[in-house]
């Protein structure tokens, strides 16, 4: 069966996360989005873990579901079109490892997935000695990532550690300001235990394919969302049985059961290009090179973005595509598309339309991925149909992100959008 899975997200107990990120809301939005397996996030946080314990119950092996008393109320309020989408939870957390290795400070984020609550208890107990788990859903530990991996594996051999958003400059395995040049440097003899990496918003599989070192490793994508509306903006598509073991073995073998990923346009990520936010300087890797990595405005070191960093570590040319590879679908969140069409952000109108669309056609991901263009046109949503068609063909206009500034992706060029708005406006 097809399973869409988003492993990496944060709860209301994580820093800078919406108070709305409760288990109930995550559940509700997964139904609307069409996500079948979702990470709990933050299981290291004692209060969140308590909630996980009291509100979830075991479902298929290694997966959990929201107890009936909580899910019923949510389902009652959802339209038939999405209400029956199956949603399962999987136990996940993210850890921020800050340590020194080979005489350099390293800051690395790691995504961790566990198969059962018992093991999570044991794991949390071990970590509570190493650092403070109480003040942030994503705890900071002065712990070598390799030792963390060792603790993970000792606690439960089926648990996974996946280096998170591996290219972001400040907190990642390959980050220009924080990481290593190879997986082996980070994990040494435990490298074989690393069977997957997370692309992060600023990179896509195409960029990762340029490193032959990653050939045998599963490339996965997650939303890393700090608010429930952003769930599934990146995700994974599996074709396997619904259980922890099935998902685990799909990732480990990286075989056809891991079908592919749903991607953000990487330029939209906030560390795609190089530059300086404060100086409003945005540079391509080639430009950066011509400036010797120095900001032309303030003359300090530039923040090297993901594209450049990939270029540094890659052993294959740009535009390299392996003979056989996973599917890659670039999507723009439906709310963003609607906002562009109406030229407003999150207005009542946009949200009403959004609700109307999933009520009529089913989950957001199914609309973006599968709904036929003619069907949309037939129902009078001509402009939206046009937008989705362009998105699927990757015919979009992009202002890339840099140094913490999100990029902007538009389906229509500025001229196109104003010229056509009058005639083809959406009638809903």
Partner 1 sequence: MTDQILPNKKQLEILKHIYGPQIIIAGPGTGKTATLILKINKLVNELKIPHQNILALTFTNKAVNEINQRLGLPDFGYTFHSFCSYILKTKNISYKIIPDHQRKKIINVISSQFGLRFQEVEVGISRYKNLADYKIDKKIILEYEKILQKEGFWDFDDLLIKTYFLLKNDDAVRLQKLKKYKFIFIDEFQDTSKIQYELIKLFVGGSRNICVIGDPNQSIYSFRGADSAIFDQFKNDFPVCKIFYLNENYRNNSKIIEIINQIFPKQSITGIKNDFYDVALVNTLNQNTQAQWIIDFINSKIGGVNLQNASSTSEKLDNNIRFSDFAVIYRNHEHAVTVKKKLFNLGAPYQVIGEDSLFFREETKIIYKIIKYLLDNNYEITTDEINLSKQINLDKKFSETIPSLINLLLSNSKNKDEEYLVDFGLLINEFDHYENSYQKFIEYYDFMLANDSYDEKSDKINLLTMHSAKGLEFNYVFLCFFNNGFIPSKFETDEDKRLFYVSVSRAKKGLFLISPKTYKKRDLYASNYKQFFNLPDVRYIEDENMAREQKRINKQKLKKSQIKLF
- Interaction between residue 118 and partner 1 (CB under 8 A): yes
CB nearer to partner 1: give 16 or 80: 16
Measured from the CB atom, is 15 or 316 closer to partner 1? 15
**Residue 59 contacts partner 1 per CB under 8 A:** no
Is the Cβ–Cβ distance between 9 and 26 less than 8 Å? yes
CA dihedral 3, 8, 10, 16 (to 10 degrees): -130
**Residue in 86, 128, 249, 420 binding partner 1, rule: CB under 8 A:** 128
Dig out the tokens for 265 from the structure: 């346009």
Distance CA 314, CA 180 (A): 14
Interaction between residue 300 and partner 1 (CB under 8 A): yes
**Minimal distance in Å, beta carbon 118 to partner 1?**
5
Which residue carries 């997935």 as its tokens?
A: 113
**Three-class secondary structure of residue 308 per DSSP:** helix
Taking the complex as a whole, the smallest distance from the CB of residue 149 to Zn ion amounts, in Å, to 16
Residue 132 or 327: the one with the smaller Cβ distance to partner 1 is 132
140 contributes a contact to partner 1 by CB under 8 A? yes
Check residue 125 for interaction with partner 1 (CB under 8 A).
yes
Q: Does 326 bind Zn ion (CB under 5 A)?
A: no
Write out the two tokens for 193.
């235990």
Pairing of strands 140-141, 88-101: parallel
Considering the complex, what minimum distance in angstroms separates the CB of residue 59 from partner 1? 18
Q: Which of 3, 143, 295, 341 binds Zn ion (CB under 5 A)?
A: 295
Residue 276 binds Zn ion, judged by CB under 5 A: yes
Report 63-82 residues binding Zn ion (CB under 5 A): none
As measured in angstroms, the least distance from the Cβ of 363 to partner 1 is 31
Among 98, 279, 335, 428, the residue binding partner 1 under the rule CB under 8 A is: 98
DSSP secondary structure, 404-419, as one string = TBPPEEESS-HHHHHH
What is the Cα–Cα distance from 196 to 220, expressed in whole angstroms?
A: 7
Residues 145-204 that bind partner 1 (CB under 8 A): 170-171, 177-178
Q: What is the Cα–Cα distance from 91 to 113, expressed in whole angstroms? A: 6
Cβ contacts of 124-130, under 8 Å, gap ≥ 24: 124/43, 124/44, 124/46, 124/49, 126/151, 126/155, 127/44, 127/95, 127/151
- Residue from 70, 373, 377, 404 binding partner 1 (CB under 8 A): 404
Is residue 298 involved in binding Zn ion (CB under 5 A)? yes
State which residue, 30 or 127, has the beta carbon closest to partner 1. Answer: 127
Q: Kindly state the tokens that stand for 89.
A: 């939870």
Q: How far is the CB of 97 from partner 1 (least distance, A)?
A: 10
Instruction: Spell out the residues 6+ positions from residue 278 whose beta carbon is closer than 8 angstroms to its own.
Output: 298
Written as six digits, the tokens of 95 are 């850890």
In this structure, are residues 19 and 145 in contact, taking their beta carbons and an 8 Å threshold?
no
- Contact residues for partner 1, defined by CB under 8 A: 15-16, 46, 49-50, 53, 96, 98-100, 103-105, 107, 117-118, 121, 124-125, 128-132, 134-136, 139-143, 170-171, 177-178, 277, 300-301, 303, 403-404
- Contact residues for Zn ion, defined by CB under 5 A: 109, 164, 276, 279, 295, 297-298
């Amino acid at each position: 069966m097809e399973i869409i899975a988003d492993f990496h997200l944060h709860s209301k107990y994580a820093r800078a996360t919406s108070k709305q990120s409760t288990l109930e809301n995550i559940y509700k939005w997964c139904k609307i989005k069409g996500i079948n397996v979702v990470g709990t996030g933050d299981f290291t946080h004692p209060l969140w873990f308590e909630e996980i314990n009291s509100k979830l119950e075991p479902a298929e092996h290694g997966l959990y579901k929201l107890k009936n008393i909580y899910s019923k109320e949510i389902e009652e309020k959802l339209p038939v079109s999405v209400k029956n989408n199956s949603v399962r939870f999987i136990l996940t957390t993210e850890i921020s490892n800050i340590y020194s290795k080979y005489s350099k400070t390293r800051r690395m984020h790691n995504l961790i997935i566990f198969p059962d609550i018992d093991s999570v208890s044991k794991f949390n107990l071990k970590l509570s000695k190493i650092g403070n788990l109480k003040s942030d859903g994503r705890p900071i530990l002065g712990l070598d990532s390799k030792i963390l991996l060792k603790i993970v594996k000792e606690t439960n051999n089926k648990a996974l550690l996946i280096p998170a958003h591996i290219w972001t400059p400040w907190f990642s395995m390959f980050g220009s300001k924080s990481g290593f040049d190879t997986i082996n440097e980070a994990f040494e003899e435990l490298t074989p235990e690393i069977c997957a990496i997370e692309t992060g918003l600023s990179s896509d599989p195409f960029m990762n394919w340029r490193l032959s070192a990653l050939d045998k490793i599963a490339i996965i994508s997650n939303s890393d969302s700090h608010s429930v509306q952003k769930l599934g903006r990146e995700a994974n598509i599996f074709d396997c049985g619904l259980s922890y073991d099935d998902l685990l073995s799909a990732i480990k073998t990286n075989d056809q059961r891991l079908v592919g990923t749903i991607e953000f346009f990487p330029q939209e990520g906030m560390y795609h290009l190089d530059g300086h936010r404060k100086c409003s300087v945005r540079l391509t890797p080639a430009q950066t090179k011509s400036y010797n990595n120095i900001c032309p405005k303030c003359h300090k070191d530039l923040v090297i973005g993901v594209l450049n960093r990939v270029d540094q570590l890659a052993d294959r040319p740009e535009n390299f595509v392996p003979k056989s590879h996973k599917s890659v679908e670039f999507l723009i969140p439906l709310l963003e598309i609607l906002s562009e069409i109406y030229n407003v952000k999150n207005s009542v109108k946009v949200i009403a339309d959004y609700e109307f669309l999933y009520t009529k056609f089913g989950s957001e991901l199914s609309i973006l991925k599968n709904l036929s263009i003619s069907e949309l046109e037939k129902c009078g949503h001509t402009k939206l149909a046009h937008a989705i068609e362009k998105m699927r063909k990757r015919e979009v206009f992009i202002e890339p992100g840099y140094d913490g500034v999100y990029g902007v992706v538009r389906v229509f060029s500025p001229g196109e959008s104003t010229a056509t708005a009058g005639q083809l406006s959406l009638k809903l």
